[in-house]
Amino acid sequence: MYLLDKIYKELDDRFKLRDLIPPIVKHPAPEYAVTNPLYCLGGIAFLCFLILVGTGIFLAMYYKPTPLEAYKSVEHIMTAVPMGSLIRSIHHWAANTMIAAVMLHMMRIYFMGAYKKPRELNWVVGVTLLLITTTFGFSGYLLPWDQLAFWATKIGTGIAGSIPIMGQYISLLLVGGNDIGAETMTRFFTLHVMVLPATTAILMILHFAMVRIQGISGRL
Amino acid sequence: MEDKITFTITRRKLTEIFMGLVALFFAGGATASILKYLWPATAAKGESVEIKIANADEVPMGSVKKFMFNGKASVLLHMPAGFRAFGSVCTHLGCIAYWKEDENILFCPCHLGKFDPNTGAVISGPPPSPLPAIDIVVKDGAVFALKWKDPNYVKTISFYAGAA
């Protein structure tokens, strides 16, 4: 501990950490929020996101987003890579848990009326995060490139294609061609590992900053 | 003269508006380039072209040949009444219908849709509309696909997006 104290002191001397960190870390949550597990749902979703980022990075090291290699590489992760099936299973279950947690979190906010003024904007950001989370699930579903993945994507892009007027263009941009293939895979992969995580991170920072500035909404 | 609308504008304000317009112009250009980059190149070939499907003797009476037409899975059938060709993407949910010889139908395995192999019409099952027919021509002992028989119909089926 002495060494850690020393390091902290060195940094504190130079960067005034005591002005930066304590206001963030040493912030007591209200009693009603600490004792009610319903207030944990947002945090559970965030924890899931962190787990997904971690396991996702590991998966991306072996995964190959091409129609020829995708299924084989997933099979390789599941059967040959040490701890591979564990990593992928954690990714799978954390993804499912995250969607459930985000949904329940939204219901908690709705039924407790926590979205009301002055927190309207945070509600909007939250719903956007919910939509992004489901898009995460949808884009990740295609990546194993099995029958389930293919047909789920067929139906999903078909639904997007059934939007009046814009639909066929949206579907074309999503699919990247006339039919689901290599272009679709790379598009969904890029969405899944680059676009969506970055967007989610930015929106989460906004989400948390607003909670910190406005405080947790009181009890009904 | 009370109802006269007056509005004053300073040189600074005008300059700001012009700068805003210039910024919009560049932003529009950037957005257009990004969209153009993301737009699939294959989408450009919506025009139907004559493509050779098979030599006529490759497909004897009662047999079929699968081929791609405008990027869509399609099927050529040799029926007693002659050659027929249809897009084989099911109009229900986009699975691929195939030739089921024992029942003499085009059959979609996903939800048991059945289609007439002569007309493409729905016999039974959930498909809302017939399979789109492809105009074909037999010349020099080979079968060629020309175009969708009814491109406007093909445009209405979401599973044939970009094919007509």
**For tokens 């912030």, what's the residue?**
A27
pLDDT value at residue B82: 86
The reply to whether B38 falls in a domain is no
Average pLDDT of A130-145? 96
Q: What is chain B's mean pLDDT, rounded?
A: 86
Tell me which residue range forms the domain holding B81.
48-156
Residue type, A159: I
**Better-predicted residue by pLDDT, B162 or B55:** B55
Judging by beta carbons within 10 Å of its beta carbon (0-12, 13-18, 19+), is residue A180 exposed, middle or buried?
buried
Average pLDDT of B135-151? 86
Closest residue on chain A to B70 (Cα): A178
How many domains, chain B?
Answer: 1
% chain B with pLDDT above 90: 37
Interatomic CA distance for residues B96 and A151, integer angstroms? 11
**Secondary structure element (H or E) that encloses residue B88, with its range:** none
- Listed range (B12-21, B23-32, B146-155) with the worst mean pLDDT: B146-155
CB pairs under 8 A between A and B: 50
pLDDT value at residue B50: 73
Q: Are A58 and A87 in contact (CB under 8 A)?
A: yes
Q: Do B40 and A173 touch (CB under 8 A)?
A: yes
Q: Do A177 and B71 touch (CB under 8 A)?
A: yes
Q: From its phi and psi, is residue B108 left (phi > 0), alpha (psi between -120 and 50) or beta?
A: beta
Q: Do B162 and A177 touch (CB under 8 A)?
A: yes
Q: Are A18 and A12 in contact (CB under 8 A)?
A: yes
**Which candidate, A33, A213, A57, A28, places its Cα nearest to that of A125?**
A213
Average pLDDT of A149-153? 92
pLDDT value at residue A215: 87
- Taking the Cβ of residue B128 and every Cβ of chain A, the question of whether any pair is shorter than 8 Å is answered with no
The reply to whether B25 falls in a domain is no
pLDDT value at residue B18: 96
**For tokens 């139906």, what's the residue?**
A155
**Better-predicted residue by pLDDT, B141 or A72:** A72
Strands (E) located in A63-204: none
Phi and psi at residue A17, to the nearest 5°: -60, -30
- Taking the Cβ of residue B162 and every Cβ of chain A, the question of whether any pair is shorter than 8 Å is answered with yes
Q: In what order do the strands lie in the sheet with B113-115?
A: B98-100, B105-108, B113-115, B122-124
The reply to whether B111 falls in a domain is yes
Q: What is the pTM of this model?
A: 0.72
The reply to whether B22 falls in a domain is no
Residue B44 scores a pLDDT above 70: no
% chain A with pLDDT above 90: 73
Q: Do B40 and A176 touch (CB under 8 A)?
A: yes
A138-177 residues touching B, CB cutoff 8 A: 151, 154-155, 158, 161-162, 167-168, 171-173, 175-177
Structure tokens at A211: 């909670």
Q: Do A177 and B42 touch (CB under 8 A)?
A: yes
The reply to whether B139 falls in a domain is yes
| Interacting residues of B93 by C-beta distance below 8 A, sequence separation 6+ | A154, A155, A158, B110, B111, B159
- Taking the Cβ of residue A12 and every Cβ of chain B, the question of whether any pair is shorter than 8 Å is answered with no
How far, CA to CA in Å, does A28 sit from each of A23, A73, A122?
Answer: 10, 47, 21
CATH number (domain holding residue B135): 2.102.10.10
pLDDT value at residue A24: 79
Residue B1 scores a pLDDT above 70: no
pLDDT value at residue A220: 58
pLDDT in tens, B74-131: 999 888 888 889 999 999 988 899 998 888 899 999 899 999 988 889 999 999 999 9
Residue type, B153: Y
CA angle A102/A174/B30 to nearest 5° reads 100
pLDDT in tens, A172-219: 899 987 778 889 999 999 999 999 999 999 999 999 999 988 988 876
A3-7, A50-54, B134-138: range with highest mean pLDDT: A50-54
Q: At what angle do helices A41-62 and A84-111 cross, to 10 degrees?
A: 150
Q: Do B162 and A162 touch (CB under 8 A)?
A: no
The reply to whether B124 falls in a domain is yes
**Better-predicted residue by pLDDT, A114 or B57:** A114
Residues in chain B closer than 8 A to A162 (CB atoms)? 158
Residue B46 scores a pLDDT above 50: no
The reply to whether B81 falls in a domain is yes
Q: How confident is the model at residue B143 (pLDDT cuts 50, 70, 90)?
A: confident
B101-120 residues touching A, CB cutoff 8 A: 110
| Interacting residues of B115 by C-beta distance below 8 A, sequence separation 6+ | B86, B97, B105, B106, B107, B108, B121, B122, B123, B127, B130, B131
pLDDT value at residue A168: 83
| Interacting residues of A47 by C-beta distance below 8 A, sequence separation 6+ | none
CB nearest to B161's CB, from A161, A176, A183: A161
Closest residue on chain B to A173 (Cα): B39
Judged by DSSP in three states, A96 sits in: helix
- Tell me whether 0.90 is exceeded by the ipTM: no
pLDDT value at residue A219: 67
Q: What is chain A's mean pLDDT, rounded?
A: 92
Q: Are A185 and A145 in contact (CB under 8 A)?
A: yes
**For tokens 């909404």, what's the residue?**
A217
CA angle A41/A33/A211 to nearest 5° reads 70
The reply to whether B140 falls in a domain is yes
